[in-house]
Structure 1
């Protein structure tokens, strides 16, 4: 009896061992999960230029309204802007809205009055807004506190200084130091909390564009004083801007204004008063042209949380690293009549 019991126990041990072996073989036969590629830490870049970020360039954007009247030229501080939006302020007179984040100019100006669509851009880009004066609609928005701002109407002669070589309203300037003071006075955040909607190529290489465009003209109405000309330099891969044959340069530093990307967005405009002020639809999107690397591409633009972004086939179009000039032109007469270019 003991002999049979011993044999029975031994058999159980053998079967258990075999079962474990089969289980082990089954588990071992399952293919391991594929190894995930180890991603290198990406080099941090500035949100609006796609260039390598300096540790000091993480601050909140500043958006300033800069005068483009002939009596306000040449301007100061535009060479440092990451993005310059050019659009109509009244009739066919354009004005610049300059976005600063990666660089801080020592002085900006001449500063000019706000429009409601300028304020909308500042809100969307989480920017501290700088202007001197306002339209009725813009004043209502600013006084309601929708955006952190400083205005020369309240600080003329203190934070804003008048130059003596020009007459008002073409002579109001603000310094980097006084913008910092204004932000302190407003007790507002100095850190950038937004998220840039723009994508950039990793280098100066980009997708091959269908058509060459080395010289560009953007027109507003029939007033040649507000025509913009851009000339592409194949060595620097940058566009220089000129008006009436005069190359645009900084009044203080003489630095030429150069950008990596020129965008033209078509938007619905409507004249709303006898002074020629406009209502501009910056939310519906529309037809667009992208000029970069000496070429041109027909695209469209869309509003992404209020920010103006180039798209193609439902995807964001990449920009060349560097600064960008964005024109907003009316749907009437339209982008085809407002823009011309030559190879």
Structure 2
């Protein structure tokens, strides 16, 4: 395993009990309060839940997920649509360059991109989510999977200038975009169903998410190289109960709206990477499982990860660890020597 520098401070939680004298004065009153709370929770419970975020909804939450390869080159930042993704996977492509697989289901962004080329491990993740896979280009391994329809897909190599549009404010290959409207148009053209929902992840109730345990870690830096260009830094903002993200020191925001990327779960997994050709394409093991970290509510927990029928999930003591309701980012880092990477935690804010 790589040297993962971890500086973590344990926090003792002080619990205050109820006043015994108040209990004795009216033993029936606490029972009445509990009944009222239960009744209120039932009345407030929403009838539907989004499968990838666990967030409740008044309207039905079915519908197919869309998984888009998003460019993370500095010339492609800030990106469009990442703020509406339910799950984002950040994985190395070539060298120390990372790309995102952004998965949309609960929210549909108007515009997504810049869209970049596919690799086989991104396709495997999309397959596990039964998502419609969107990319512009491919490696040879990915091309073989796409051409035999291993997953339903739309590719900019086929639809450049039609479903995919080139932005004038950026240069190729950092300027390919697709709208959600064109995703639906392409799916209809290829007769892909958009009705089936992705499999559900496990989520904590809102009440249980307020009592998460673990070591305190307000910031974490995931370094993919010595240059720092593709460093991913996450900082917990206690005022909103979510994590902010930074790339090479700049906050990750949406290009159009300037809204910051805010997430509720950060899941870091370690796995074997192997360079397979002169172009530095990689084979990445997303099947065998391994070590990882799960960050929620400013706390970090050591976990294992498991591929559960195509879903990458955190495991502890043999059981799936539920996510906090909301958005999740998954950072994949190499275990093997020769590929520079590190993960470091800090109890202090960056600023």
* TM-score category of the 2 structures, normalised to the smaller one: 0.7 to 0.9
What is the 5 A alignment of 1:132-281? Answer: 132-203=136-207, 205-281=209-285
* Aligned-partner Cα distance in 2 for 1:158–1:54: 36
Deviations 1:246-272 (A, max 9, x none): 111100110100100111000110001
**1:122 Cα shift?**
1.0
* Aligned-partner Cα distance in 1 for 2:218–2:255: 26
Query: In the alignment, is residue 65 of structure 1 matched against residue 89 of structure 2?
Result: no
Superposition TM-score, scaled by structure 2 size: 0.83
Aligned to 1:96: 100
* Aligned-partner Cα distance in 2 for 1:257–1:61: 19
SS in 2 for 1:95: strand
Work out which of the residue numbers 114, 117, 133 in structure 2 matches 1:113: 117
* Aligned-partner Cα distance in 1 for 2:109–2:152: 20
**1:208 Cα shift?**
3.5
**1:199 Cα shift?**
2.7
* Aligned-partner Cα distance in 2 for 1:167–1:188: 31
**1:319 Cα shift?**
1.0
| 1:224–1:52 distance in 2 versus 1, CA, 3 Å | same
* Aligned-partner Cα distance in 1 for 2:289–2:231: 23
CA RMSD of aligned residues (A): 2.1
* Aligned-partner Cα distance in 2 for 1:234–1:210: 16
SS in 2 for 1:118: helix
Equivalent residues of 1:201, 1:318 under 8 A apart: no
User: Greater relative contact order (Cα 8 A, min sep 6): structure 1 or 2?
Assistant: 2
Aligned to 1:327: 331
**1:193 Cα shift?**
4.1
* Aligned-partner Cα distance in 1 for 2:207–2:230: 33
**1:141 Cα shift?**
0.3
Q: Which has the higher Rg, Structure 1 or Structure 2?
A: 1
Unmatched segments (≥5 aa) in structure 1: 1-39
Count of residues in correspondence between the two structures: 306
SS in 2 for 1:174: strand
Work out which of the residue numbers 306, 312, 327 in structure 1 matches 2:310: 306
* Aligned-partner Cα distance in 2 for 1:281–1:275: 19
Deviations 1:135-154 (A, max 9, x none): 00000000001111100000
Deviations 1:29-85 (A, max 9, x none): xxxxxxxxxxx6874211111111352532100000000001101100000000000
SS in 1 for 2:229: helix
* Aligned-partner Cα distance in 1 for 2:115–2:310: 23
Equivalent residues of 2:83, 2:254 under 8 A apart: yes
Aligned to 1:285: 289
